[in-house]
Structure 1
Amino acid sequence: MPDLPTLLLARDCGLHALTAKDLSKQVNSGALVRIRHGVYADGPAWRELKDWQKYRLQIQAAAEMLQKPTIFARHSAANVWGVPTIGVRHPVQALALTNDGGRSRAGVRRHFAAPSGLEVVRRDGLLVTSRVRTVLDLAAFTPFAEALVPLDHVLRPGAVLRPGTAAQPSALSKDDLRAGIGSIHSAARQRKIHAALDFANALSGSAGESYSRSLLHVAGFEAPVLQQAFRDGQGLIGYSDFCWKRARVVGEFDGEEKYLKLEHLKGRTPSQAVVEEKYREDRIRALGFTVVRWVWADLMQPGRLERKLAAGGVPRRRARSAILDAQNVP
């Protein structure tokens, strides 16, 4: 994974013997990319970055150009904390501590926050909302399905951080998060937060698993068992991402990290990991389970995951009106 390229500020061009005309030529040729007014980065290095890394550079670029100290929040604070979120091309987001109607200026979307009780942390040289406040804000202001991803992440012990992010503090508890709600948000926003917190689960093994679980819940499927152990005559097969025991269906989310990242490969080559995963799936199928697999593209296309799960036999939740007391059934 490449390191983040150094930012080049237009105001410092004299130090590099560059003129405004030189900058324009290099941008037109692709040698440089303009991140925001007055801030540039190496073009080839930029094009190698993941979306979340590009977003991080946009946050840093804003911090370099804004004259007043800026407290980054919501998706921007989550990025600095190394907490995953759903979606790309989020605006740079920060707090406005005075409710003067100014919501967006200098390319930064601002959200009013009362300064009373606000906890601000300096991380990687940037001012950000605390980890608790960051995930609570996301739970309050993003759709339920998206809110589960950062919540599950901070609840999960030993969550894998994105490369290049500072060490993350220990896992939070639901009590830690509930204690942080207070009167920061309106009653309606608090209900959203509590609903997401009630559903959050530290057993979700990745952002993809968390988002999958929230989407299948919204689509009305029965809640699966997470990290179900499977054994056969040879011993432990492994743990499934999702399992519907009654329907004998196993669900597996395949993120690219499973086959590419060193911490998941554990000394194997990507091809060895693929072969071992296929062998593991065959052993689970031999126990009489259907295995349904999906990838990020299935999560990003509305309805695609729902169709896969339905075709695989994953049961829907029963409506209250369909739940009968066996003693009263004629």
Structure 2
Amino acid sequence: MPDLPPLLLSRDRLSHDLTPNELAKRVKAGALVRLRHGVYTEGPRWRTLAPWEQYRLTVQAAAETFQKPTVFARRSAASVWGIPFVGYSHPVAALTLKNDGGRSRCGVQRHFAGGAGLQVVQREGLLVTSRLRTVLDLAAFLPFAEAVPAMDHVLRPDPAHSLPALTKAELEDAVGATYSAAASRRIRAVLGFADPLSESVGESLSRAVIHLAGFEAPILQQRFSDAGGLVGYVDFCWKWSRVVGEFDGETKYVKQEYLRGKTVSQVVVAEKNRENRIRALGFDVVRWDWAELRRPGALERKLAVAGAPRRRTRSAGS
């Protein structure tokens, strides 16, 4: 669990010279945050964590309270593997071998899994479903658009976690007889659509929303050049309709690996100059952010106004 604050367990309070009243006072003052019954962490550090880091810590907090070996799955396993998913206000997900329809208790959702063929590994001190099984579960049980970012991600190498890319053939072979016919169809729909050229969660989700809205598939990472040389690469391009789409996540303006030694204002100016050069080539540039991506219909309306092409229906012929 790298770079995350430590957990304080109430059962260990005596070793920290804390009484129950002192724990309560520290929570009230914001010095501690209570993650679940009997588990706390440092308040100031908790508030600096990104949402996905906070979720990962809640998984760890749940693990500290279980009396029996527990296998984490779905989004919880994904958080351990570093597989991205949409939203982070989710219950902790764990497996049960008892087929009673699953149950939720104390912020933990239990999901049935047959023991046959179940691959479990130990990672960061937790038992989790294998990386391959985790991403297949996400495709099987999440909405299509939410499953696409995870599938796109595992098709690329993950240097941050020292993990190789998975192949579509590996993923297809692993579907096997583990899932119902309906779940298998959902997995194959996500797998068929997945593309490692999407470079972020926002780009992957955008591409899924674009598809579900009925637009033609854009070219990904289209290269642009002008008389001055390389302009850059764009997230989405409908070449014949002269439309470019760009997802504006916060990452490029705050993370050092994207700033590359520049200030935020320098990056913003460079991005504006890049966009002006693309417009000078005769393309309309449409930009959107997380707020617009999450708002139903917002991205579809922007692309429609810009003239992004819709997919032809079967009845329209070829």
Superposed CA deviations along residues 62-118 of structure 1, whole A, max 9, x for unmatched, are 111101111100000111111110012110001112324552334311101111111
Counterpart selection for 2:310 from 304, 316, 327? 316
Map of 1:116-195 to 2, 5 A cutoff? 116-157=116-157, 159=158, 161=160, 167-195=161-189
Query: How far did residue 45 of structure 1 move?
Result: 1.6
**Structure 2 counterpart of 1:7:** 7
Query: How far did residue 266 of structure 1 move?
Result: 2.1
2:152 maps to a residue whose letter is D
Identity %, equivalent residues: 64
Task: Check if 1:53 corresponds to 2:56.
Answer: no
2:9 maps to a residue whose letter is L
Superposed CA deviations along residues 25-56 of structure 1, whole A, max 9, x for unmatched, are 11122221110000011112212211111111
Residue 299 to residue 214, structure 1, CA distance change in 2 (3 Å): same
Map of 1:61-140 to 2, 5 A cutoff? 61-100=61-100, 103-140=103-140
Asked if structure 2 preserves the Cα contact closer than 8 Å seen for 1:228 and 1:239, the reply is: yes
Counterpart selection for 1:234 from 203, 228, 231? 228
Question: Segments of 4+ in structure 1 off by > 4 A?
Answer: none
Asked if structure 1 preserves the Cα contact closer than 8 Å seen for 2:86 and 2:146, the reply is: yes
Superposed CA deviations along residues 171-221 of structure 1, whole A, max 9, x for unmatched, are 111111111111111000000000111100011111100000000100111
Number of matched pairs:
317
Give the secondary structure class of the aligned counterpart of 2:223: strand
Asked if structure 2 preserves the Cα contact closer than 8 Å seen for 1:156 and 1:204, the reply is: no
**Structure 2 counterpart of 1:225:** 219
Map of 1:193-232 to 2, 5 A cutoff? 193-232=187-226
- What RMSD, in angstroms, separates the aligned Cα atoms of the two structures? 1.4
**Structure 2 counterpart of 1:328:** none
- Report the Cα distance in structure 1 between the residues aligned to 2:105 and 2:301, rounded to whole angstroms: 42
**Structure 1 counterpart of 2:34:** 34
- Report the Cα distance in structure 1 between the residues aligned to 2:179 and 2:53, rounded to whole angstroms: 30
Query: How far did residue 312 of structure 1 move?
Result: 1.4
Asked if structure 1 preserves the Cα contact closer than 8 Å seen for 2:102 and 2:109, the reply is: no
What's the TM-score, normalizing by structure 2? 0.96
1:226 maps to a residue whose letter is L
- Report the Cα distance in structure 1 between the residues aligned to 2:147 and 2:246, rounded to whole angstroms: 21
Unmatched tracts of structure 1, length 5 or more? 162-166, 325-330
Give the secondary structure class of the aligned counterpart of 2:175: coil
- Report the Cα distance in structure 1 between the residues aligned to 2:51 and 2:293, rounded to whole angstroms: 17
**Structure 2 counterpart of 1:164:** none
Unmatched tracts of structure 2, length 5 or more? none
Asked if structure 2 preserves the Cα contact closer than 8 Å seen for 1:5 and 1:46, the reply is: yes
Which has the higher mean CA deviation after the structures are superposed, 26-35 or 170-179? 26-35
**Structure 1 counterpart of 2:267:** 273
